[in-house]
Chains A and B, each alone.
Chain A
Amino acid sequence: MIEIKNVTKVFKTKDSTVEALSDVNITIPDGDVFGIIGLSGAGKSTLVRCINMLERPTSGSVEIDGTDLCTLSQKELRRIRSNVTMIFQGFNLLSQKNCLKNVCFPLELSGVKRAAARKRAQELLELVGLADKAKSYPSQLSGGQQQRVAIARALATDPKILLCDEATSALDPTTTNSILELIADINKKLGITVVVITHQMNVVERICKHVAIIHEGRVAEQGEVTQIFAAPSSDAAKQLVYPDGISGITQGAAENEHIVRVVFNGANAARIPLIAQLAVQKGIYANIAHASTKSIGEKAYGSMILSIGGGKNALTQTLDYMNSIPDIIAQEVNGNE
C-alpha cells in the first residue's frame, strides 16, 4: 500500500518559490491500477517522483507498506527503488545497448550474475512480445516497441509497484492501446500495483480502477473511476470529463429525459451505426447533445453525450445495450449538482 500523507513540495528559485504540491493525501491499495490525471503543470510528475523519492517532499510523508521513505538514507532508498520501478514518456532506454542489455541493466545494478540476468531478461522480452528483438538496438525499434522494452526492464527486479509517467503520451492511439493492454495484463498476472500518470482521459478510463484528479498541486477529487467520470463534482474533474461544459445540457433536460455519457475506447463503432440501431432495435430515440469522437482506422475514440427520452426503462435498456458492445462504456450523468 502506498500512503501519501500531507505531501507538500516547494521549489525555490532565485527570486520566487513555486508550490508544486500542496497537502496531497492519496492512498493506493495493493494491486490497484491508480490513475493520477491532470493538465500539464498540475504537479502530477512531481507527485509520482515523490513516490520513489526522486523528489523529496518539502513536508509530509510517503509510506510504502508502512515504511516512511522520507526518513530513509540515499543508500536505503536505492534498495527500495528496485521494488518501485518506473517507465517514462521518452522510454529512456540506453541508446548504446541492445534490448537484452537494457533489460539486464537493473539486474546488474542489484548484483545478479550475468548469465542469470540474461536468462531473466530474455524471459521478460518474451513476456512483452519482443523475444526476437533481444539483439536489436533502441534506434531500430518503434516507439511502442521501445516502451515494451522499458516495461520489461522495469519488471526485471520483480517490483511491487510500477510507476508510469505519461508512458503512452508519445505514442499513437493504436500503440497506446496495446501498451495499456500490456500494463493491465501485468497488473492482473503479476499483481503489481500500477500508478498511472497521464493527461489523457482515455488512458484512465481504459485501465484505472481509481483516479485522483490533480489541479494546481492539489487533489481536486479522488475515488473510483466509474463514479468520478459519471458524476464529477469538482470543477477540475468536470473540466476533464466535459471539456466543453455539461451544465447547459443537463439543465435543459426534460422531466423524463436522462443524460448518458458514452465512451469509445477503440470500439469498432465506426462500423456500427450505434444511434440508429438503438432506435431500430430498442425503439429508443437518442438525441446527441455533444460528441467528441474520432475514428482511427476502423476504431472509434472519444466520448459522446446523449439525452435519452422515455424514462428510467429506456435508460436501463440503453445502458445495457451500449455496455454489451466491447470497448464502449456508457454511464448515466447526474447533472443535478
Chain B
Amino acid sequence: MSDFFSSPEFNEAWEIFKTQFPTAIWETVYVTVISTFFAIVIGLPLGVLLVTGEKGGIRPIPSPLLKLINWVINILRSVPFLILMILVIPLTRAIIGTSIGTTACIVPLTIAAFPFAARLAESSLREVSPSTLEMAQSMGASPFKIITKVLIPESIPSLISNATIAITTVLGYSAMSGIIGGGGLGKIAINYGYYRYKYLVMIIAVILLILIVQLFQSVGTLLAKKTDKRLKKA
C-alpha cells in the first residue's frame, strides 16, 4: 500500500488533484445548479400547463396547442445529449457569445433538461387529487389562484424530490460537456483518463462526481421530507 502512495502515478495524480480539482468541482457545481435552475424556470410552467390545460383541467387550452407542447417535449427528450450539444452550438453562440467553455454549456444543458423538468413537474402536480382542486373551485378560486395556492403548494415535497432527480441528471449530462470544451470534473476525467490514459485521475474525478450526487440527493431527500406536512404524526 505504501508503495502505491509513493508511486509516480500517485504523485502525479495528487499534483493534478491539488492544482485542477478545486476549479473543476466549482465549475461542475456552478454549471449544474445554474442549468437546473433555468430548466425548472422553463419546465415548471410547462408542467403546470400540461396539467391544467388538458380537457377537463382547471383551465383547458386548445387541444392542438397542448399536443404541440407534448410533441416538442417528447422530441427534445429523444435527442441524445451528446448530439443535442452539437446541434445547439449556433444558439449557444447567439446567447452566450461563444460555444466553448463552462458558461457556454448552460445553454445545451438547459435545453436538454427543461423538457425533463416539465415531465417531472407534470407528474408531481398530478398527485394533487382532483377533489382537492374541486374544493378550491367550490370556494370560488380562479384558475390562477388554484395554481398558486393549491396545485403548487400541495405538491411542494414531490416537486422537491423531482427537482433532486433533475439536478443529479443534469450533473451527469454536465460531465459529457467536457467533449465540447465545457469545464468541470467531466473534462478532467475525459482529458486525463480517455486521452492520456491516466486512469487514476479519471477515477478520482468519478469518485468526486459520485460524492456530489450523493450530497445533492441527501439534501433533496431531507428537504422533501422536512416540507411534507403529511408526514406529521399526532
A, B in one complex: yes
Give the B-binding residues of A (Cβ under 8 A): 52, 54, 77-82, 85-86, 88, 90, 92, 94-98, 105-106, 108-110, 136-141, 153, 157, 163
Checking A52, A85, A90, A95 against B230 with a beta-carbon cut-off of 8 angstroms, the contacting residue is: A95
Task: Indicate if B139 sits at the interface (CB-CB under 8 A).
Answer: yes
Give chain B's interface residue range (CB within 8 Å of chain A): 20 to 34
Chain B residues within 8 Å of A138, by CB: 229-230
Tell me, yes or no, whether B203 is within 8 Å of chain A by CB: no
Query: A173 to chain B: closest CB distance in Å?
Result: 22
Cβ–Cβ contact A95 & B154, under 8 A: yes
Contact with A along B142-160 (1 / 0, CB 8 A): 1001000110011011000
Contact with A along B129-143 (1 / 0, CB 8 A): 101101111111110
Contact partner, B142, options A78, A97, A98, A139, Cβ 8 Å? A78
Q: Which residue of B lies closest to A79 (CB)?
A: B140
Knowing A94-B153, A105-B149, say if A110 contacts B140 (CB, 8 Å). yes
Q: Which residue of A lies closest to B228 (CB)?
A: A96
* Residue picked from B131, B153, B157, B229, most chain A C-beta under 10 Å: B229
Residues of B within 8 A of A108 (CB): 149
A141 to B, closest residue via Cβ: B234
Q: B139 touches which one: A85, A98, A136 (CB < 8 A)?
A: A85
Whether, in the assembled complex, B233 has its beta carbon less than 8 Å from a beta carbon of chain A, the answer is: yes
For residue B68, which residues in chain A have a CB less than 8 angstroms away from its CB? none
> Using a CB-CB cutoff of 8 Å, which residues 149-208 of chain B contact chain A?
149-150, 153-154, 156-157
Question: How far in angstroms is the closest Cβ of chain A from B219?
Answer: 20
Q: How far is the CA of A51 from the CA of B227 in the complex (A)?
A: 37
Tell me which of B137, B142, B157, B233 contacts A140 (CB under 8 A).
B233
The residue in B132, B157, B227, B228 that gathers the most chain A C-beta atoms within 10 A of its C-beta is: B132
Q: How many A-B residue pairs have CB under 8 A?
A: 80
Question: Is A139 within 8 A of B138, CB to CB?
Answer: no
Q: Which residues in B have their C-beta under 8 angstroms from that of A96?
A: 153-154, 156-157, 227-230
Question: In the docked arrangement, what's the CA distance between A145 and B44, Å?
Answer: 35
B231 interface residue, CB < 8 Å from A? Answer: yes
Contact with B138, one of A86, A95, A110 (Cβ below 8 angstroms):
A86
A85 to B154, CA, bound (A): 21
Closest 3 CB pairs of A and B: A81-B140, A92-B135, A78-B140
Question: Quick check: B156 and A139 within 8 Å, CB to CB?
Answer: no
Q: A96–B142 Cα gap in the complex (Å)?
A: 20
Nearest to B153 among chain A residues (CB) is: A96
Among B129, B139, B141, B154, which residue has the most Cβ atoms of chain A within 10 A?
B139
- Chosen A-B contacts, 13 in total, with CB atoms closer than 8 Å, are A52-B138, A78-B140, A88-B131, A92-B131, A95-B154, A95-B230, A96-B230, A98-B229, A105-B149, A139-B230, A140-B233, A140-B234, A157-B139
Task: Write the nearest CB–CB distance from B155 to chain A, whole angstroms.
Answer: 8
A residues near B230, Cβ cutoff 8 Å: 95-96, 137-139
Could you say which residues of chain B place their CB within 8 Å of the CB of A136?
232, 234
Q: How far does the Cβ of A162 sit from chain B's closest Cβ, in whole Å?
A: 11
Which residue on chain A has the smallest CB distance to residue B227? A96
Residue from B131, B139, B142, B231 within 8 A of A106 (CB atoms)? B139
Establish whether residues B229 and A81, one from each chain, have CB atoms under 8 Å apart when the complex forms.
no
Closest to A78 in B: B140
Find chain A residues with CB under 8 A from B145 CB. Answer: 109
Q: How far is the CA of A136 from the CA of B129 in the complex (A)?
A: 21
**Nearest chain-B residue to A108 (Cβ)?**
B149
A80 to B139, CA, bound (A): 9
Judging by beta carbons under 8 Å apart, are A140 and B141 in contact? no
Bound CA span A78–B140, Å: 4
Enumerate chain B residues within 8 angstroms of A163, measured Cβ to Cβ.
Answer: 138
Q: Is the CB of A88 within 8 A of B137?
A: no
The CA-CA distance from A77 to B141 in the complex, in Å, is: 10
Q: Find out whether the CB atom of A109 lies under 8 angstroms from the CB atom of B139.
A: yes
CB distance from B138 to the nearest CB of A (A): 4
Contact A94 B134 (CB under 8 A): no
Q: Report whether A54 and B138 are in contact in the complex, using a CB–CB cutoff of 8 Å.
A: yes
CB-defined contacts of B141 to chain A, threshold 8 Å: 78, 109
What chain A residues lie within 8 Å of B149 (beta carbons)? 105, 108-109
Residue contact A94 to B132, C-beta cutoff 8 Å? yes
B231, A139: Cβ atoms under 8 Å?
A: yes
Q: Which residues of A contact B138 (CB under 8 A)?
A: 52, 54, 81, 85-86, 163
Give B142's nearest chain A residue, CB to CB. Answer: A78
B130 → chain A closest CB, angstroms: 10
Partner of B131, one of A52, A90, A98, A137: A90
Give a binary string over B203-234; 1 marks a CB under 8 Å from any A CB, 0 the rest. Answer: 00000000000000000000000011111111
Besides A88-B131, A139-B232, 6 new A-B residue pairs in contact (Cβ under 8 A), listed by A number: A86-B138, A94-B132, A94-B154, A105-B136, A136-B232, A163-B138
Q: How far is the CA of A86 from the CA of B131 in the complex (A)?
A: 12
- Which residues of the partner chain B approach A54 to less than 8 Å between Cβ atoms? 134, 137-138
In the docked arrangement, what's the CA distance between A54 and B139, Å?
A: 10
A81 partner residues in chain B, CB cutoff 8 A: 137-140
Minimum CB–CB distance from A166 to chain B (whole Å) comes to 11
Question: A206 to chain B: closest CB distance in Å?
Answer: 24
How far is B140's CA from A96's CA once the two chains are assembled, in angstroms?
20
